Amino acid sequence: MNTTCIMCPMGCSLTIEEIGGAITVKGNGCPRGEKYGRAEYTHPERVVTTLLKGAFGGVVSVKTDRPIPKDKIGDLLAWAASYRLERAVSTGDVIEENAADTGANIVATSDFIMK
Ligand code: SF4
């Protein structure tokens, strides 16, 4: 597996292989790249950012408060597409706990005022 380390702007190209149950990471310029490569290979996760619509118009930008498994991102985005915010929120407010059963909370990254 080939990927790019996103832990710093260097963007090292990583080659990750599993041979006989042992995972090796090559191409990393520092130890953080090895840790990142192993995580990408075994259980890739991402912090997700998206928008939620207000029930009466407008949108609020949000993000998960922790990385979620990549295979749960589709569930989270489907939940976000159907959700309608019915209250004002401030940046940092938790809008939904355990959104789409991902284990992550959805947090506002902008203020939202009801229209
Ligand atoms: S391996 Fe280290 S130096 Fe390379 S991109 Fe990742 S964090 Fe940066």
Residue whose CA lies nearest to ligand 1 atom number 3: 29
pTM flag (> 0.95): no
77 closest CA partner among 102, 44, 95, 40: 102
Residue 24 is predicted with a pLDDT of 97
The best mutation among 2, 4, 6, 12 to test binding of ligand 1, ranked by most ligand atoms within 8 Å of the C-beta, falls on: 12
Q: Which atom of ligand 1 is nearest to the CA of 31?
A: 2
Q: Which domains are delineated in the chain?
A: 2-42 (no CATH), 49-108 (3.10.530.10)
Residue 33 is predicted with a pLDDT of 97
Q: pLDDT by residue (tens digit) across 40-60?
A: 999 999 999 999 999 999 999
pLDDT at 114 over 90: no
* Strand ranges, E, within 1-115: 2-4, 13-19, 22-26, 45-46, 49-54, 59-64, 68-69, 84-85, 94-96, 106-108
